[in-house]
A and B are shown apart, each in its own frame.
Chain A
Amino acid sequence: MNIFDKKQQELLWTMILSRKFSDSLVELCKIQGKIPGMMILSTGQEAVGSGVCAALEPEDVIITNHRSHNHLLAKGAEPKELMAEIFCKKTGCNKGKSGTLHLAVPEVNAPCTTTVVGATLPIAVGRAFAQQYRNEKAITVCFFGDGAADEGSFHEALNLAALWQLPVVFVCENNLYAGAQRYEEHTRVKNMAERARAYDMPGIIVDGNDALAVYRAALEARQRALDGQGPTLMECKTYRCRGHGEADPQHYQPRDEIKAWQEKCPIPRLGDALIKSGIITSAKLQEMESMADNIVQEAVRFAEESPYPEPHEALEDVYV
């Protein structure tokens, strides 16, 4: 098996794992008192996080947003610790302080999930500046949605990153909706990638449901950043198959639109292609699916059996 074949399998694997992870949460979050707070899933968008992270090395950094589960799993976060944190348990990766929305996993160089829309960009600029300052052979990837591209922070961050030629890749996960507003209701710009021109950086449009296309584009953008050629804005066109959060009835999303995009699901798309090209067998695909099932079930069991933090632990970790 060559390296690329192996990479494609890894990519498929993190998408399958992410989907199983999300699917389990669809049911769990409906149970009263089980999981606190909002539940925001990336079902159908897995090709973006998985494709980009497949192009990264462990020393590369990601800064991610409210729709983070897929990004974090693809970067190598431990599913048990993520699930326990989503359940707000003491054994979670952040001891129950972050919950499902702010998962921070610095040990896999995913130190920050921020839910303030557009906030990932200036932080990623700072993280990439540190890499440049220290001459590290590593880059920073910044995930955000199409809605975030309307924040002032997007423009400040792109301008500064381009000015200083920082090693950062801005990944705009354009899922066609910012809350209840469809893309054309929140901007007149046809493609977010066009905004890159305003800052004199490459702007690339990628089929965000084609994991291999995302992977290849991310590899190129990473190499440019490592070569000192600065940032890239990569727009991955995908679709938000579920609501903004699980409580969202999606009354504003046409049913046939959802259905059409579900048929473009990135997971069978890559799975079928890998079977067709003989890289994997359908038995192997089934094995991957049942392995992901087991990992997710084990993570849920671990989370459910874990204790909550003691109330007094609320006072810890404010200051060093």
Chain B
Amino acid sequence: MQKLGMGQAINQALKEEMHRDPNVFIAGEGVGVSIHLNPMFPTHGLLEEFGPGRIKDTPVSEAAIAGLAVGAAEAGLRPVVEIMFNPFFTLASDMIVNHAAKLRYLSGGKSSFPLVVRIKSGAGFGAGCQHSHNLEAWAAHCPGLKVVMPATSADAKGLLKSAIRDDNPVIFIEHMGLYFAPMPVPEDEYLTPLGKADIKREGKDLTVITWSGMLGVAMGAAEKLSQEGIETEIVDLLTLSPLDKETILTSVEKTGRLIVLHEATRTGGFAGEIAAVVMEEGFKYLKAPLRRVTGPDIPVPASPPLEKFYIPDENDLIKAAGEILE
């Protein structure tokens, strides 16, 4: 099996879908000619392969980029546009929140908006809070959007291909920390369904629900807990909206204990939503109070020791596990 960083896997997905469907085009800042001459980046080499008619470098204009996607999608094209960093979502947010998400509803179901907004995200680069700010909960709070956050190269490829073929607007958030580590990706073509979580590790004692860059933390902690005789089940959520309640509740029923782990800040974070679903629909399964392990309620700091303090790690997860396993 080939081994690819997530950026390369995304690159393969983009190429395959562009070859398959002439309606797919790509637009964004530096998606053609980039300041990163790096084959590990998702849009590397696309301009050479598909030309400037389908790979559209844009001005630094996030509202226009997102509007381009909305208008072109209404016409039946399948835009895949890129927002360079998650905090810049704010600059594109009117087009995404008020238009991509709502125009189908406002048309009474007559129009559809098959677009994908790829957003690079994640802390860990010392880039500071205006480049690192996980805003997935904002997007998931908007009916009409689907929100996808893969944690492995294989899932990223299959999910992006599904997102491009989906007739709804999809916010596809990529953790840049995953671009560089090679991970196995099947050679043959495949699609990974949206709205379906994946059990990345089976266990009977504790469920950890996580997504994106935190999967690695969860897997590392689970390995250590296993050495203590505690078997952790890890649910990789993959899609935040629509939420796969069934997989969540089935796992909680099995283990009776739940930790939700995400890199984003705590208050109003998506862990709260999952906690609420479990309290409403799975309270009877819980043997102990559930826990959230998240970034603290601060902007992501630039200084390395401060940023390290911000990002949840294996010790945070193991500590929380200890609290609910006592």
Q: Tell me if chain B binds chain A.
A: yes
A positions within 8 Å CB-CB of B: 61, 63, 92-98, 102, 104, 106-107, 111-112, 114, 116, 119, 121-131, 133-134, 140, 152-153, 156-157, 159-160, 163-164, 316-320
Pick the contact of A114: B53, B76, B98 (CB < 8 A).
B98
Chain B, interface SS category:
mixed
Chain A residues whose C-beta falls within 8 Å of the C-beta of B107 in the assembled complex: 94, 97-98, 104, 106, 111-112, 317
Do B94 and A112 touch across chains, with their CB atoms under 8 A apart? no
Further pairs besides A114-B99, A125-B67, A130-B75: 9, Cβ < 8 Å: A97-B108, A104-B110, A104-B111, A111-B107, A119-B95, A126-B72, A127-B75, A129-B68, A319-B144
**A93-B108, A119-B95 given; A318·B63 CB < 8 A:** no
Pick the contact of A130: B67, B76, B167 (CB < 8 A).
B76
Do B167 and A320 touch across chains, with their CB atoms under 8 A apart? yes
Do B110 and A94 touch across chains, with their CB atoms under 8 A apart? yes
The smallest beta-carbon distance between A88 and chain B, in angstroms, is 11
Do B63 and A122 touch across chains, with their CB atoms under 8 A apart? yes
> Which of chain A's residues has its CB closest to B146's CB?
A319
**Is B267 part of the binding interface, using a Cβ–Cβ cutoff of 8 Å?**
no
Chain A residues whose C-beta falls within 8 Å of the C-beta of B99 in the assembled complex: 112, 114, 116, 119, 123
Interface size class of B (residues with CB under 8 A): 35 or more
Do B168 and A116 touch across chains, with their CB atoms under 8 A apart? no
A140 to B61, CA, bound (A): 20
Chain A residues whose C-beta falls within 8 Å of the C-beta of B190 in the assembled complex: none
**Is B104 part of the binding interface, using a Cβ–Cβ cutoff of 8 Å?**
yes
> Which of chain A's residues has its CB closest to B103's CB?
A112
Do B71 and A126 touch across chains, with their CB atoms under 8 A apart? yes
A78 to B168, CA, bound (A): 28
Pick the contact of B108: A98, A123, A152 (CB < 8 A).
A98
Chain B residues whose C-beta falls within 8 Å of the C-beta of A116 in the assembled complex: 94, 98-99
Q: Give the number of residue pairs across the A-B interface with Cβ within 8 Å.
A: 146
A94 to B69, CA, bound (A): 22
For B56, B75, B94, which residue has the most chain A Cβ atoms within 10 angstroms? B75
Q: Which 10 A-B pairs have the closest CB atoms?
A: A126-B71, A122-B67, A130-B75, A94-B108, A317-B109, A95-B108, A320-B167, A127-B71, A156-B64, A156-B61
Chain A residues whose C-beta falls within 8 Å of the C-beta of B98 in the assembled complex: 114, 116, 119
Chain A residues whose C-beta falls within 8 Å of the C-beta of B74 in the assembled complex: 106, 111-112, 123, 126-127, 130
For A106, A127, A140, which residue has the most chain B Cβ atoms within 10 angstroms? A127
A88 to B104, CA, bound (A): 16
Chain B residues whose C-beta falls within 8 Å of the C-beta of A319 in the assembled complex: 104, 144, 146, 168, 242
B positions within 8 Å CB-CB of A: 25, 53, 56, 58-59, 61, 63-64, 66-77, 79, 94-95, 98-99, 103-112, 143-144, 146, 166-168, 242
Do A320 and B75 touch across chains, with their CB atoms under 8 A apart? no
Do A160 and B106 touch across chains, with their CB atoms under 8 A apart? no
Chain B residues whose C-beta falls within 8 Å of the C-beta of A125 in the assembled complex: 64, 67-68, 71
A233 to B111, CA, bound (A): 28
A128 to B77, CA, bound (A): 12
